[in-house]
Structure 1
Amino acid sequence: MRFDLPRNVILPVDAVDVRLDPGPHPFALDNAEAIAENWQREISANPALFDGTVVLLSQLAWRDNSLVGRCHAVNYSTFMLWRKRRENSGAEHAYAHAMLVAGDNALVAIRMGPHTVNAGRVYFAAGSFEPIDFRDGLVDVDFNMIREVREETGLDLSIAERGHRYHALSTNSGTVIFRRYHEPAPADEIARRISAFVAAETDPEIEGPVIIRHAADLPDGLSAHMKPLIEWHFAGKG
């Protein structure tokens, strides 16, 4: 098994068994010099970048409605080079989306801030898995979702009603694992809370909230993977 899962189709996922390998990722070992050179170019263009720790997959498969895989901690600089050399790299990226569903069934996404790598892009509040998101070596997807939403929007989804299962969409650019989180307030009220949080932040990661009210309500800057997720939600799937 390396990467063995259907692409470009939304998959039901009852369990995520992705484990953190303590060893280095082969991509990091094989490209150390190129990683350092590329990072210098990246921070010259955007000094706000931080070389923290994220994870890259070395294996991922879908079996019996479960995602099973292995990942390794890497520096963000390694991830940045991988984004440019992902084809045949032996590495892939997975990330999680808390699909925030308001009481009026609208979706509440966010637009990334101008100093970020994905400046201006619209998707659900999210971030790459980090070592903190693992419990005894096993990824805790909901912990990641709740943590990232809190950090970016100020919302606490820890007691929100959750969809009964995950779903996943795997494309050539990565695999998104997502789950509905229901907030009883209408979308406009949720957006007001997020905007107030952003206004109070010294260095906010996001520009602000984006409300999506129906399947054809596709905002400028929408990330490519979001369209099928939006259509899936408003079709009443899951």
Structure 2
Amino acid sequence: MSFDLPRNVILPVDAIDVRLDPGPHPFARDNAEAIAENWQHEIAANPALFDGMVVLLSQLAYRDNRLAGRCHAVNYSTFMLWRKRRENSGAEHAYAHAMLVAADNALVAIRMGPHTVNAGRVYFAAGSFEPVDFRDGLVDVDFNMIREVREETGLDLSGAHRGKRYHAMSTNSGTVIFRRYHAAAPADEIAQRISAFVATETEPEIDGPVIIRHAADLPVGLSPHMKPLIEWHFANGS
């Protein structure tokens, strides 16, 4: 099987071996005309969209606390069509979350800006893997996490204490790889820093920070995959 991992369960991950295949993804190759047509509809509805490069998986498996897979660089327009045709597409999506844990053990997430594809959704600052996130063909998950948090919130997590291992949860909509990043400041102070950064941006990606203080503190607009991650954090200490 191209995708062989348990669904809807949080898995411990000690190693990630996801490699970038230089060849085209079969989904992109086989749907070129539909991709171009759909993209015209997408940008007509949201002119702020940019057809940059992301990656889509063609394989992913979980064995012995290890994730191994293969992915291919595709245009964002390909990703947008895949979102509508993901069932039996031969492609899946993986992304990473730096789970930002404040000094008071609260979680600090973000709400996406109104011009984005996921407008109003709440999750940890994140973005799809891009070719820049790979080193000698191997994905650098922490580089992606730190890069996305910096771009969206202005925070630099490069010196933050990191959780001992990664965890992952795979659903029909994608596989999230996450890791705790511990900040030295309390949640309110972190939120103030993020809000100050957003105020300086001409077209900020996010609407602002969202603080989650306990497992039942679920904000409006929370992405479905976030609830089990939040429950896991508050059930498993820090």
What secondary structure is seen at the aligned counterpart in 2 of 1:168? strand
2:235 corresponds to 1:235: yes
Give runs of aligned pairs for residues 44-123 of structure 1, distance below 5 A.
44-123=44-123
Cα distance in structure 2, aligned partners of 1:6 and 1:38: 32
Q: Which amino acid aligns with 1:128?
A: S
Deviations 1:132-182 (A, max 9, x none): 000000000000000000000000000000000000000000000000000
Cα distance in structure 2, aligned partners of 1:115 and 1:201: 14
Give runs of aligned pairs for residues 1-238 of structure 1, distance below 5 A.
1-236=1-236
Cα distance in structure 2, aligned partners of 1:52 and 1:130: 9
Cα distance in structure 1, aligned partners of 2:22 and 2:55: 11
Cα distance in structure 2, aligned partners of 1:19 and 1:147: 19
Aligned pair count?
A: 238
Deviations 1:170-214 (A, max 9, x none): 000000000000001000000000000000111100000000000
Following TM superposition, the consecutive aligned residue runs of length 4 or more in structure 1 with deviations greater than 4 angstroms are none
* Gaps in structure 2 of 5+ consecutive residues: none
Cα distance in structure 2, aligned partners of 1:64 and 1:216: 32
Cα distance in structure 1, aligned partners of 2:237 and 2:98: 16
Moved more, 228-237 or 2-11: 228-237
Cα distance in structure 1, aligned partners of 2:123 and 2:159: 22
* Identical aligned residues as a percent: 89
What secondary structure is seen at the aligned counterpart in 2 of 1:176? strand
Cα distance in structure 2, aligned partners of 1:237 and 1:164: 13
- Calculate the aligned-residue CA RMSD, in Å: 0.7
TM-score (norm 1): 0.99
Deviation at 1:236, TM superposition (A): 1.4
TM-score (norm 2): 0.99
Cα distance in structure 1, aligned partners of 2:234 and 2:66: 24
Deviation at 1:237, TM superposition (A): 5.8
Cα distance in structure 2, aligned partners of 1:90 and 1:52: 21
